[in-house]
Chains A and B, each alone.
Chain A
Amino acid sequence: MRNNSLLRVKRALLALLLATNTNAADASAKHDGYRLALPGYRFEFPRDHFNHPDFQTEWWYYTGNLRTADGRRFGFELTFFRRGADNGAAVQQASGGSVWDVRDVWMAHLALSDIHGGQFLHAERLNRSGPGIAGADLKQARVWNGNWETQWALDPSLAGGGTQRLKAVAERFSFDFALTSDKPPVIHGTDGVSQKAEGAGKASHYISLTRLSTKGEIILDGKHFSVEGASWMDHEFFSHQLESDQSGWDWFSLQLADHSEFMLFRLRRKGGSPDPFSAGTYVDPQGRTVHLTAKDFTVTPGKIWRSPATGGNYPIEWMIEVPSIRFKATLHTPMVQQELTSNSRSGTSYWEGAIDVEASRLGRSLQGVGYLEMTGYTGPITGLN
């Protein structure tokens, strides 16, 4: 009954908190008081798995493809976003501040693709850190938003990938997964930065755990499913916005049967042309990485699916080619409706879902699964980007 009116309240607020910065062309090493992602950053784990409050935006992205013993397939996405609000800092200092002051806005997205059942369930939430409602804390080895969380095991193996326990509770479903990293963290880009546009600091620090062996349980409408499979974690922190001529991106994570992985992103300019800062990484079965620049690969959209909810025209088939390592792949999705429709202005609606990969490497055919994210198909991205 009151949802609509409060929703409007919330929208107005998000506009304030998450508004695109108009003076983003600031060339200094700071952006509105936040640190920029600059080359030479020295990564250190486990520290860098957790919070970087001196950067304005940070996210932890978990996606995965899982199956039950009898082959019932699920995909999942659990994402924690943080955005520094730095709201009313002066007021807070003047009167001592309180636990409810909004220093960061924490948003989280949760989705379950029940591919066999043909249903896509998703939820989102928005919180402040408050007294411990949401956060990312090295001491607790935890990233959480309400009762959605990942708890790292505090053991020396953390320095590499370590193990995590990923849990989430939603209205109709919940899950509890144990994730074990088979490979050390991948740092994308060059010299510790993944460049997104021309200019110092228009970049991010970008870490991935590309193969997380996953085991756990999904409870959907009261039914328990024991599942196994592989997950992927992305962790990025930065302090810049999309450039005004950039309209969105397509992001691909591929986990192939030969134990290798690809991460590719294609930035799109307004008008549809690809952006020269599109890039990717190839991770070989041993965990060695090859940085791929825009020149090294092509991604070609295929069949279009028009979302009945938002009217967005999403390419749900893709062709990928990386000539330098003689790699070709066709991507399909087993379920077209994997769009997270958001009503808040924070998250523009986007498509994020499980995909199947038909690839060939050095002429040998290769199967795989992956996750595909497509943003900016329903309007400008004003939120966390």
Chain B
Amino acid sequence: MPALALFYRLILRPLRQERARTALTVLAVALGVAAVIAIELAGQAAVGSFRSSLETLTGSANIEVTAAGGIPADVFARLATAPYPLKVHARIEDYAVIAGKVKRTVPIVGIDILSEGTLNSAGAGEAPEGASDLRIDDSVWLTSGLGFKRGDSIHLLINDAAADFTVAGVVSGQAGEAILMDLAPATRFLRRGGRLDRILIEAPATHSIEEWTELLRKDVPDGITIARQGTQTDENRHMLEAFRWNLRVLSYVSLAVGAFLIYNTISVSVVRRRFEIGILRALGAPRVAILGGFLGEAACVGLLGGVCGIVLGRILSEGAVKLVASTVASLYFSSRPAPIALTWEYVLLGLTMGMSIALLSALGPAWEASRVAPIEAMARGRSEHQARVHRWRMAAAALLLASVAWVASRQDAVNGKPIYGYLCALLSIIASALLVPLLVSVMANVTTGVISRVFGIEALLASRILAGSLRRTAVLVGALSTAIAVLTAVGIMVGSFRETVVVWMDDILQADLFLSPAVPGGVDRHPTMSAEIPLQLAQLPEAEAVDQLRNYEIRYEGLAATLGGMDARIAGRRRKRSFLSGASADKVFRQLIGTDSVIVSEPFANKHRTKAGDILKLNLGARVGAFRVLDIYYDYSSERGVILMDRETLFRYLPGAEPNNVAVYLKPGVSVEDGQRAVERVLAGRMVAVARNGALREQAIKVFDRTFAITYVLEALAVFVAVTGVGSALLALVIDRRREFGLLRFLGAADSQIRRILLFEAGLLGALANISGVTLGLVLSLLLIHVINKQSFGWTIQFHWPVMVLLSALSIVYVATILSALYPARIATRLIPIEVIHEE
């Protein structure tokens, strides 16, 4: 009981009395925890759900059969007639748009309406459904989530065509949204030419899956893949894990910034209660009680922050999931986020994060408190004790860490994750924090004269105060500079990336008009348009050349990739700087013609460690082909790898002359307006969208910005936490130094002068943090561009200073930092001089 009472008096009461400061510290922890929880939840919903609607119809199948470019129909017949007790289901999988007030892109699944389902499974005697006027060719079945009922008419956009279907039934009990259609119309509308996207097999447990796949492999051609059902999903999920991991790291930045602030809060507590600690120690309190007391304070803050953080994180996750999902969709796979599920694991994670970050950051100050010698603390005069700061020793440690960081930056990725890259970043941040005291004292010494001359006596006082409480200043600068560094680093990285993409688009987007089907494509879905379109366009007098691209979703070494066929004759004439080797595009593209050779994108080469001259073995349809890699080209269109070959080569292996995209080069002198009119005349009646060059670029940049929106949010959060911390720390400073402020007031300082002192303090803190933060940020940005990005995504990014973006962001941070001093300043000006001095 006495221990509890002591804990209350020494720890909890002050926490309660200094409500504002406590609230700010709790808020810092809460925001850090919220960022982590929000990203975890959003990641789980966006990525975890990626078992998309297409997967809801797999039933109890345990084996899946796939092939690049589709499975030839006769493979299905072979499996269906194989002498084993299997259930074999055919699938065509794609996307369609439900036209209506709100256009919705929904998975469309072609199934064998005749054979699916087990005839013997349900009870007999159910009422027959009066469906005698139905026709298989224009009937669809919808999952109940789509909100249609039987007999409704539904207007669908599929590829470049629109058609009306009758809802023949609503399939209940299905997760997700999907349109079901028989294989016959699905083949026709989706232009599958009889091929299937997947065959699902239910095999009995008499043999293991491995035995079954081995057995079945004998019945199918070499190019066909037979694997445990869900293998592809698992592989895809694995790919997304790396992305989630990067996002997760960024979300911990806020938490790390929060750690600085807890450290600061506890330090302040320790310093302010030295006298009480001295008394307690003199009365016989053991060191461990003091240690426990301050750790208890941290735990309270951590717990409270954790709880608030979980609630806040759940709220923030609603927005975060949209951003994460859109990033996943533009970089990886089509998916629809699942509902957010805040489970006990996340609650536990939030509490653990809050508590452990608080305890860890409080360990140092609490330990120091427990070391306080009674006699020293109780010595006359309650002047603030200033902990010694070993600037030079810390700088030496910083140097050591920096060299370790350098070594770490040279290491390869682990399991596709740039673990050493992040280690390097962490070490750099710590090293920079260790350098701050030296920086502060050097700055203080060098600049005091200048400052007082320029800004007057208040600035001089502010500068002295900061230099005087060096440790606290260092911590504050450390926190703010970490946030600024991350802001700068990500800013530079994204800015450089954006500029790189813009330059790249200049090179590859040379045509005047771009055509694509009305159904939106995606990184893993490739809606087609009629094969006649490019032929008709080529006849136009306005057109100089027509290029076309046909993409297939394939897998290479267990990773999803895109296989594309373009007209090498046309593409080669236009591009300039396309290849890593620097080879002329014209020459490389010419070599593609008529040979089994390919070019691969940079991310592909990085993922698969491919070099020019390598031979790629690709499973295409039922066949296996060997292709020589001629060169590696820059590609920023997706994170996944791309393999490109000449159309003619592609069509020797896979069917489908229908292009996904068509590009029209107009003759010199033909205006874009005239050209577009001519093209649109050819397209009359078809659901094909025509985009002009400029519009397409704008669209691409919009997608790019959307992709990185989530990182901005996380950075903003970190900066907010840091700025809040500055305010909180200044408040502590005011309360601590009320004697000095009282004295100043007593000596005749005006309110405005007191306010100015505090504003100058904030300004100096901000300036120091900006200097160290931008320097650290530059280092981190190089790390992001050359190590972390390269290892996670495989893009070459040309370094570029996004001057305007950085300047405006940093100005906002700076202004916010200064503004954060307003509230502490108000408190300071409210001090009654007599009272404060009287306390002495």
Contact = CB atoms under 8 A, between A and B. Distances in A.
Contact of A169 (B85, B115, B192): B85
Given A16-B133, A99-B73, 13 more contacts: A2-B171, A3-B59, A9-B171, A13-B168, A16-B135, A88-B137, A99-B194, A100-B184, A100-B194, A127-B114, A128-B114, A132-B77, A343-B122
A125 B115 contact: yes
B134 A13 contact: yes
Top 4 A-B pairs ranked by shortest CB distance?
A: A6-B117, A131-B73, A132-B77, A12-B131
A349 interface: yes
11 contacts: A9-B113, A12-B168, A13-B114, A13-B139, A13-B182, A95-B188, A126-B114, A130-B183, A131-B77, A169-B85, A171-B204
Contact of A9 (B85, B117, B184, B188): B117
Nearest to B130: A15
Interface string A1-30: 111111111111101110100000000000
Contacts of B184: 88, 98, 100-102, 128
Contacts of B180: 9
Interface string B113-133: 111111111111110111111
A112 to B, nearest CB: 13
Contact of A133 (B80, B118, B124, B136): B80
Interface stretch (A141-149, A154-162, A361-369): A141-149
Contact of B81 (A6, A126, A132, A310): A132
Q: Which of A8, A95, A126 has the most CB of B within 10 A?
A: A8
Contact of A7 (B72, B73, B119, B135): B119
A168 to B, nearest CB: 9
Given A1-B173, A9-B171, A131-B76, A170 B85 contact: yes
A10 B130 contact: no
Interface in A102-139: 102, 105, 122-128, 130-133
Contact of A13 (B73, B80, B136): B136
| Interface size grouping (class) on chain B | 35 or more
A159 B73 CA distance: 34
Nearest to B170: A5
Contact of B121 (A3, A128, A149): A3
Contacts of A122: 120
B124 A125 contact: no
Interface of B: 57, 59-60, 72-74, 76-77, 80-85, 88, 90, 111-126, 128-137, 139, 141, 168-169, 171-174, 180, 182-184, 186-188, 192-194, 204
Contact of B74 (A9, A131, A169, A174): A131
B83 A169 contact: yes
A122 to B, nearest CB: 8
Nearest to A10: B117
Given A15-B131, A105-B114, A127-B114, A9 B119 contact: no
Contacts of B192: 98
A344 interface: yes
A2 B57 contact: yes
A98 B188 contact: yes
A309 interface: yes
A6 B178 CA distance: 13
Most interface-central of A100, A123, A125, A132 (chain B CB within 10 A) = A100
B219 to A, nearest CB: 11
A9 B168 contact: yes
Contacts of B77: 130-133
Contact of B119 (A5, A15, A343): A343
A131 B194 contact: yes
A4 B114 contact: no
A189 B168 CA distance: 43
Interface residues of A, number: 55
A88 B185 CA distance: 10
A6 B130 CA distance: 16
Contacts of A169: 83-85
Contact of A8 (B119, B136, B169, B194): B169
A190 interface: no
Nearest to A15: B131
A345 B174 CA distance: 24
Contacts of B171: 2, 5-6, 8-9
Nearest to A18: B132
Given A10-B114, A344-B119, A2 B59 contact: yes
A11 B129 contact: yes
A87 interface: yes
Contacts of A91: 137, 188
A330 interface: no
B125 A147 contact: no
Nearest to A88: B137
Given A100-B73, A342-B124, A147 B83 contact: yes
A95 B193 CA distance: 11
A130 B83 CA distance: 18
Contacts of B125: 310
Given A131-B73, A310-B124, A13 B113 contact: yes
Contacts of B73: 99-100, 130-131
Contact of A15 (B59, B88, B120, B128): B128
A11 B129 CA distance: 7
Given A98-B187, A343-B122, A87 B136 contact: yes
A102 B85 contact: no
A10 to B, nearest CB: 5
A87 B137 contact: yes
A130 B131 CA distance: 24
A97 to B, nearest CB: 9
A341 interface: yes
Contacts of A128: 112, 114-115, 184
B124 A15 contact: no
A147 B81 contact: yes
A328 interface: no
Contact of A3 (B117, B135, B204): B117
A147 B84 contact: yes
A211 interface: no
A124 B120 contact: yes
Interface in A173-222: 174
A98 B174 CA distance: 29
A349 to B, nearest CB: 7
A167 interface: yes
A15 B133 CA distance: 9
Contacts of B187: 98-100
B150 to A, nearest CB: 8
A303 B326 CA distance: 71
